Chain A
Amino acid sequence: MGILIGQSLVNAVLLSGMLALVALGFSIVWGVLKIINLAHGSFIMLGAYVTFTLFSLYHVDPFLTIPVSMLALFLLGYLIQTYIVNWVIRAPLLVTFLLTFGLDIILINLALFVWQGDVRSVSPAYAGTGLTLFRDPVTSQGVQVPYVRLAAFAISLVLAGLLYLFMSYTKLGRAIQATGQDKDAAQLTGVRVAPTYALTFAIGAALAGAAGSLISVMQPFDPNMGGGYRLRAFIIVVLGGLGSIPGVILGSVLFALVDVLVGISPLAPLKDGVAFAMLVLVLIFRPTGIAGKAFY
């Protein structure tokens, strides 16, 4: 029983790191551009396929492909924001909703065309190896900490930390925050709004790319994988509170705990339902999210 609980807590912690990375990009785009980017799941999917392609064709270690997928998605995000989304940035929410929904469909179908609909998986030689903690001398069972998930967790934390430092202590980051708070006031103080938006969107896409690369090592995927992550990102951002990095991390930890603890209970088949129930409760009782601040 001790091992069951211990293993579950380890699972939850490792899962929360990955989920935080999934939700971070979604959160800053929503917080700064006021856009709910429905193509976020597709960005994650593209990141996974960048890793898959480099791994299967050139045998590049999946963790080394992360900078490549981040760069590729950064460029894609920058272009999409500059040449497509920027046209409707001041339009009502529904317009950006439709636009990013359309983008999502296009990206999924392009991926289906290029990589086909087969379920793929990236399995380096070290996949599945890990540390055993608290090994019981009698049964030789213990709490397993798989290296791949541990590494993914660490990378997520590093990226979240870097994003936090960038947003808080650099001129560009502060410009992004200022634009998020009030784009007209930011413009008056000399911030160029369009490039700032493009940069924010690109950073969001790059984070999604990194998340996709990490997910590809941990889970099987196909071009339709993104929808589930987009939904999780949405729940996490609302749970934690829109527009704050600590909020995203708090939301991820909560979501992962619920997912894992419900998973070992008799309610396991309902674990998605429980997550949604939590979302509804937060929206009713604390609409600004648990961390509660409105923007970066």
Chain B
Amino acid sequence: MKLHLSALFCLLVVMSLAAGCMAPAPAAAPSKPCTITFGAAVSLTGATAKEGEYVKNGYNMFIEDTNKQGGFKVGKQQCTISVKIYDDESNADTSAKLIEKLVTEDKVNLLLGPYGTGPVFSASAIAEKYDVPMVEPGGAGIKIFTRGFKNVWGTLPAAGTYLKSAVDMILAKDPSAKNVALFIENDSFSQEVADGITPYLKEKGLNLVYSEQYPKGTKDVSSLVTAAKAKNPDFVLGASHLADAELVVKQAKDIGLNAKAWAFSVGPSTPEFGTALGKDSTYILGVTPWTPAMKFQGQDIYGTPLKFSEAFKAKYGYEPSYHSASAVATFIAFQKAIEAAGSVEPKAVREQLGKLDVPTFYGQLKFAPEGIIVKPMGVVQWDTDGKMVSVWPKDIAEKDPLYPAPPWDKR
């Protein structure tokens, strides 16, 4: 046994010496082609396969368009970029395993994120473990950013800010609006939305006359709608997802709960909302970090949302959602940070990501100290022609919002 151990020790010494000899020279010759490799685990199958595909398409499109223009500028060199994408099956544990593989086996330089708060939460822990910066496009849960990690940045605004823009818009239109009803889905994301908006309503001097939770996956909210109706709210807010937002609207119409404005955190900003509810979707407000119609001016390869949208449509045949735009924004954050740092060393890139403050087609890219983007949500509304238009903030909006919403029986 003793012999064994010493033999092993000798072997280790020899190996480490050999490794030392084989290590590359620190400064690469300028003529040598260089490539920056990014790694990502994205949900290409499973519950969020659709959103995962949007993210993946964003990543691939940016790579292609950037390499056409010569890639990233690193110091004096132009480097092409590439991305290695694995399928995390919408599973948080798988996502973490794949990130570990990307870092240890594939030796990627930097990390992009998965889709969904769950996978981002576990994947970013691995990024932190190996000290590799990750900018992620698909996790808005604040719990990702409250662990004191220094390697995770996110390009989706925090869930707690989702409904604030809608409230600002309503108050700008109608300062006399006072009474608010709030429906809350019993789910971690929706709870964060509600926890963010409740103190904000108080701050704005509004009365929360009705606030109630319903179970996730509920089939009937008629009792909540009935109770809210008895309180005569001026406007109704929903901390919700798509199916329950539709359910609230349907049953509000059934029971005759009327309000001057309606806004939901998730639901109205997806095209399905309009097709499913038809005319009943008119006047309803949704929030989204990005739409092709917003009027941002950026210093990046796309410049404006419209140009990005046209290029995306030409390549994939459908209009991009905010998922794809957010995915591209993560790359732009890396591009700007790498160019400012003149290096792809994690430490230098990390420092520059923290300092970032650039206009892009996605809006201003600037992160709060904990890593989440500082960006107001835009407000969209379904108009009378059955189209979703952006109505807020004013400077980037297409149209003035329709207000107030008429009662259901007068439409």
| Chain B hits for A1, CB < 8 A | 230
Would you call A82 an interface residue if the criterion is a C-beta within 8 Å of the partner chain's C-beta atoms? no
Q: Which of B50, B221, B222 has the most CB of A within 10 A?
A: B222
Which of B212, B250, B256 touches A132 (beta carbons < 8 Å)?
B256
Closest to A229 in B: B219
Which of B224, B247, B253 touches A264 (beta carbons < 8 Å)?
B224
Would you call B242 an interface residue if the criterion is a C-beta within 8 Å of the partner chain's C-beta atoms? yes
Residues A220 and B243 in contact in the complex (CB < 8 Å), given A123-B276, A128-B250: yes
Report the Cα distance A146→B243, complex, angstroms: 20
| Chain B hits for A129, CB < 8 A | 409
Residues A4 and B230 in contact in the complex (CB < 8 Å), given A118-B272, A220-B246: yes
Q: Is the CB of B227 within 8 A of A11?
A: no
| Chain A hits for B218, CB < 8 A | 271-272
| Chain B hits for A271, CB < 8 A | 214-215, 218
| A contacts with B, residue count (CB < 8 A) | 41
| Chain B hits for A263, CB < 8 A | 214, 220-224, 227
Would you call B186 an interface residue if the criterion is a C-beta within 8 Å of the partner chain's C-beta atoms? yes
Would you call A149 an interface residue if the criterion is a C-beta within 8 Å of the partner chain's C-beta atoms? yes
Q: Is the CB of A268 within 8 A of B243?
A: no
| Chain A hits for B212, CB < 8 A | 268-269
Q: Is the CB of B253 within 8 A of A127?
A: yes
Would you call A190 an interface residue if the criterion is a C-beta within 8 Å of the partner chain's C-beta atoms? no
Would you call A86 an interface residue if the criterion is a C-beta within 8 Å of the partner chain's C-beta atoms? no
Q: Is the CB of A264 within 8 A of B223?
A: yes
Closest to A139 in B: B232
| Chain B hits for A132, CB < 8 A | 256
Would you call A168 an interface residue if the criterion is a C-beta within 8 Å of the partner chain's C-beta atoms? no
Closest to B231 in A: A4
Residues A259 and B277 in contact in the complex (CB < 8 Å), given A119-B242, A121-B250: no
CB of B213, distance to nearest CB on chain A (Å)? 4
Q: Of residues 192 to 225 in B, which have CB atoms within 8 Å of A's CB atoms?
A: 212-215, 217-224
Report the Cα distance A123→B408, complex, angstroms: 14
Q: Is the CB of B254 within 8 A of A268?
A: no
Closest to B411 in A: A128
Report the Cα distance A272→B214, complex, angstroms: 9
Q: Is the CB of A8 within 8 A of B254?
A: no
Would you call B87 an interface residue if the criterion is a C-beta within 8 Å of the partner chain's C-beta atoms? no
Q: Is the CB of A127 within 8 A of B223?
A: no
Q: Is the CB of B247 within 8 A of A123?
A: no
| Chain A hits for B213, CB < 8 A | 268-269
Q: Is the CB of B223 within 8 A of A8?
A: yes
Residues A119 and B224 in contact in the complex (CB < 8 Å), given A144-B256, A228-B217: no
| Chain A hits for B278, CB < 8 A | 123
Q: Is the CB of B254 within 8 A of A259?
A: no
Report the Cα distance A218→B251, complex, angstroms: 8
Q: Of residues 190 to 226 in A, which have CB atoms within 8 Å of B's CB atoms?
A: 218-222
Would you call A130 an interface residue if the criterion is a C-beta within 8 Å of the partner chain's C-beta atoms? yes
Would you call B16 an interface residue if the criterion is a C-beta within 8 Å of the partner chain's C-beta atoms? no
Would you call A253 an interface residue if the criterion is a C-beta within 8 Å of the partner chain's C-beta atoms? no
| Chain B hits for A15, CB < 8 A | 220, 222
Would you call A111 an interface residue if the criterion is a C-beta within 8 Å of the partner chain's C-beta atoms? no
Closest to B184 in A: A269
Q: Is the CB of B277 within 8 A of A121?
A: yes
7 contacts between A and B (CB under 8 A): A15-B222, A121-B250, A123-B277, A219-B220, A232-B219, A263-B227, A264-B226
The 6 closest A-B pairs by CB, nearest first: A263-B223, A128-B253, A121-B276, A269-B213, A146-B254, A220-B246
